[in-house]
Structure 1
Amino acid sequence: MPYRSKVTLIYLLGFTLDLLNMFALNAAYPALGQELHASVAQLSWTNNLYMLGLTLVIPLGTWMAARLGERQTLLLSLALFGLGSALAGSAGTIDSLLGWRLLQGLGGGLLIPVGQAMAYRLYAPEQRHHLTSLVMMVALLVPALSPTLGGVVVDQGSWRWIFFAMLPLTLMAGVLVLAWLPANQPLPAPQPILDLHLLGQPLLRTAMLVYLCVPGVFIGANLVAALYLQQRLGLSATATGALMLPWSLGALGAIAFVRWRFNLTGPKWLLSAGILIQCAALLWLALPWVAAHHAWLALIFALLGLGSSLCSSSAQSLAFLAIAPEQMGQASALWNLNRQLSFCLGVAVLGAVLNQLLPAPQAFAHTFILAALLTLLPLPMVFKLPGTRALGLITRTH
């Protein structure tokens, strides 16, 4: 197996561990809360503290890789993650579980940016969208499947086995790191923990804004939609969750299309299409007649998946297109911090707006309209992006 493929596999395995750790526990909250006598607020912190640890340590990943070496940093990350998983599965109180979730996050936060930087560095700029498509496939499939797998584990055994099941995968990743990655030497030149000068790179800056305003806004709009569908339209929780199936189909189509057309169509038109599609779907969801025509909801969610994933796939490829190999670690840290921020910001903004507008009859419609307007924010910057020839994509492809 080529060295590039080995590094890619290690990165994707680490990314899978991170996503499993975020989503597999969802189905276990009732059983976990009952056994540990945890309140709803405490249960919410089981995920929040993992995310907090993940976010806090991301800027240190590149700094540590420069001093310890990338191989050693990955091994340290996996060791912390595995230790946190074992201790979380053995937790006897909710307080101890929360502490071990934070430790898991600290381990996972080192793993993702360092692995991502190593993988993207090995791809030529015109080939990086192929790696992005693999990343997006993992990002689509693991969150879709892991809650179901977590539910099976809980029904057949205990919520503790969700954490214990992380250990073989963590060990496998560690063995692959030891077997496949060279024992590289630390870099003697000092580096900043976070190089904010990279935000001056227009492609990276535009991609980060797109991710905040399109996938990030979708995450917040999806929370609002779940409340709207159940509280106002009277759909069951099962029917509401089933709408993620057409969303996933739309997202899958977008990922495949970006992989096929990125070098030929260019990021400008792919991003513009994704922004306008998500905006239109959110405005459609705000129309009052949707309440009487539930059959259209599947199409609306398919369009949301198509628009959001056109942007997330294209933006990640665009972000690293002009990044030099020696800057890839710093760019990866900035990108992952922005990704974590997008997970929180859309929910915080749209949730706060909805809370202020309720119980007004148009509260949900106005919140969806705001989400649509926020989706449009990156469009002026996207229109300024160079074409495929200026970016060198067509020339490199041929």
Structure 2
Amino acid sequence: MTRTHADAPPTEDAFDPALLRLAVAVLMGAIMTILDSTIVNVAINTLGRDFNTSLSTIQWVLTGYLLALSMTIPLTGWVIERFGAKRMWITSLALFIIGSALCGAAWNTTSLIVFRVLQGVGGGLLMPIGQTMLASAAGPRRLGRVMSLISIPAMLAPVLGPVFGGLIVDHLSWRWMFYVNVPFCAAALLLALRWIPADPERRAGGRLDAIGLTLLSPGLAALVYGLSEAGNGSPLTGAKVLGTVGAGVVLLGLFCAHALRKAKGPLLDLRMFRNRGFTTAVTALFVYSGAIFGLTVLLPLYVQIAQGESPLRAGLLVAPFGLGAIVTMAFAGRLADRRGSRGLGIIGIAVAAAACLAYTRIDVTTPQPFLVAVTFVAGLGHGLIVAPLMATLYRTLPRAAVPAATTTANILVRVGSSLGTAVLAVVLQIYIRAEIPGASGSLADAAADRGPGAVDALVRAFAHSFWWTAGLAALALVPALMLPRPAPDAEERPTSK
């Protein structure tokens, strides 16, 4: 019988050709979906001007994509069981291609937001399905290295996304930010058809947890929407923020109660949190993601608003973060396979937190080379975190739990990133109002005032905000310090129930 990616893991440590082909196909499909999370950031002002709409409205081009990603991730485990990983990978990639082409052809703000949601529906499933296929094919001996491979798109996004976005906006129409996805993802679709192994025989009678879906997806959507509205300037105590965030919290609480009571086939198996390795690793990733994603949002804003630089220059400042991550990621996975993830995770988080702390020392005389160096150091720490902690998620779980673990981890990382962005946006607005009496908190309004006193006040507001990124990153050390030490026979643990 032909061997598939879901069969027993190979005993050898080296990557076999089949695994390498699978990794290439997954990376080709996933990289553009992650780049689309950052490439549009530098074009928000251009889109608002072209469509003659407000900044708070056009920001839904970003928020709609994020909401769609968050809402589709919970379906991962069920669609893999019901339809098969390869079939759903190809379907999701096709949806992303169609959504990209429609975004490029959008005729107004509403159509662009709707098509971005379609993009997110397709893109939201690609990364967790790809992680599931790779984790199943690699086995426990090679998990660290294979998680390093799947982390490559996440490393490249902060390097290439803002830079490509700035180049396209400066030299071409913004529509090419979406059109460029079509040929690249079409090539990835051909590779997937040839290189992703056929799906094994699927379990008959799999059912979707409809109650869980109607609680979890709207709960996540309401939570992210409320936080994004707070970030856009709605009052924290207003009905829009409190009402939507409160509704999201209630729905998520009801989902947790439902999932714990449901004995068979919950949308997310919360019983996995009884596993110490899974719980500590996913908690560290959740908190750390909020800190580091918030940092990558604050940095371009600081360069554009406080220093008056172009979107391209702002994008170039973020690039050293990804470059530093690539440097340490190159050996982090192999080292995690040999020595365990705990030490690497702790060191990486400590380095990233120290870099965030250095940003609190900025003032109007801070040279850009200092910012570049600190950003590179933050990236060095980041590269030591993601692959080892993702490997820990899987290493202590049975093989049958891998799809559910992938889904849960991806949801929490995205929600953590959303929380970090929204919280830091609110914090920055509060500090701007405190430093510039009478200011509305709008970054666009703040940037319009280029007087010496106003610039000094803006820099102080950003410096105060960076304290929050440092604090969140340091908080991630708490669960990281609780990661279990690897057992001597960790590589021989059972991989099935």
TM-score bucket of the superposed structures, by smaller chain: 0.7 to 0.9
Q: Give deviations 1:294-324, integer Å, cap 9, x for gaps.
A: 3533332222222233222322222222232
* Match of residue 175 from structure 1: 190
Q: Deviation of residue 153 (structure 1)?
A: 4.4
**Which sits farther off after the overlay, 24-33 or 168-177?**
24-33
Amino acid paired to 2:470: A
Q: Does 1:258 align with 2:344?
A: no
The correspondence for 1:337, drawn from 397, 411, 416, is 411
Work out the CA distance in 1 between the residues paired with 2:317 and 2:169: 24
Task: Report SS of the residue matched to 2:59.
Answer: helix
- Structure number with the higher helix fraction is 1
Q: Does 1:2 align with 2:26?
A: no
Q: Give deviations 1:104-156, integer Å, cap 9, x for gaps.
A: 11111122211210111111213111112222332222442234334444555
Work out the CA distance in 1 between the residues paired with 2:431 and 2:35: 35
* Match of residue 355 from structure 1: 429
Matches within 5 A, 1:67-106: 67-106=82-121
* Match of residue 281 from structure 1: 355
Work out the CA distance in 2 between the residues paired with 1:183 and 1:394: 26
Matches within 5 A, 1:309-348: 309-348=383-422
Q: Deviation of residue 30 (structure 1)?
A: 4.7
* Match of residue 249 from structure 1: 323
Q: Deviation of residue 393 (structure 1)?
A: 5.6
* Match of residue 137 from structure 1: 152
* Match of residue 161 from structure 1: 176
Task: Report SS of the residue matched to 2:37.
Answer: helix
Q: Give deviations 1:321-347, integer Å, cap 9, x for gaps.
A: 223222211111111111211221112
* Match of residue 369 from structure 1: 467
Q: Judging changes above 3 Å, is the alpha-carbon distance between structure 1 residues 292 and 390 closer, same or farther for their aligned structure 2 residues?
A: farther
Q: Deviation of residue 82 (structure 1)?
A: 2.2
TM-score by length of 1: 0.87
The correspondence for 2:270, drawn from 193, 196, 216, is 196
Task: Report SS of the residue matched to 2:396.
Answer: coil
Task: Report SS of the residue matched to 1:208.
Answer: helix
Work out the CA distance in 2 between the residues paired with 1:318 and 1:249: 24
Q: Deviation of residue 292 (structure 1)?
A: 4.3
Work out the CA distance in 1 between the residues paired with 2:326 and 2:118: 33
Q: Judging changes above 3 Å, is the alpha-carbon distance between structure 1 residues 137 and 286 closer, same or farther for their aligned structure 2 residues?
A: same
Task: Report SS of the residue matched to 1:194.
Answer: coil
2:162–2:315 contact (8 Å) kept in structure 1: no
Amino acid paired to 1:188: A
Work out the CA distance in 2 between the residues paired with 1:239 and 1:156: 14
**Which sits farther off after the overlay, 113-122 or 246-255?**
246-255
* Match of residue 239 from structure 2: none
Q: Deviation of residue 291 (structure 1)?
A: 5.1
**Which sits farther off after the overlay, 305-314 or 40-49?**
305-314
Q: Judging changes above 3 Å, is the alpha-carbon distance between structure 1 residues 110 and 222 closer, same or farther for their aligned structure 2 residues?
A: closer
Q: Judging changes above 3 Å, is the alpha-carbon distance between structure 1 residues 141 and 158 closer, same or farther for their aligned structure 2 residues?
A: same
* Match of residue 485 from structure 2: 387
* Match of residue 19 from structure 1: 34
1:215–1:312 contact (8 Å) kept in structure 2: no
Q: What percent identity do the matched residue pairs reach?
A: 30
Work out the CA distance in 2 between the residues paired with 1:298 and 1:392: 40
Work out the CA distance in 1 between the residues paired with 2:94 and 2:301: 39
If asked which structure has higher relative contact order (CA below 8 Å, sep 6+), I would say 1
Q: CA RMSD in A?
A: 2.9
* Match of residue 187 from structure 1: 203
* Match of residue 126 from structure 1: 141
**Which sits farther off after the overlay, 179-188 or 107-116?**
179-188
Work out the CA distance in 2 between the residues paired with 1:47 and 1:41: 11
Q: Deviation of residue 203 (structure 1)?
A: 1.7
Q: Deviation of residue 63 (structure 1)?
A: 0.6
Q: Judging changes above 3 Å, is the alpha-carbon distance between structure 1 residues 160 and 353 closer, same or farther for their aligned structure 2 residues?
A: closer
Q: Give deviations 1:212-252, integer Å, cap 9, x for gaps.
A: 222420222343445556666x4635665443243333222
Work out the CA distance in 2 between the residues paired with 1:275 and 1:189: 43
Work out the CA distance in 2 between the residues paired with 1:378 and 1:75: 36
Q: Deviation of residue 55 (structure 1)?
A: 0.9
Q: Deviation of residue 179 (structure 1)?
A: 2.7
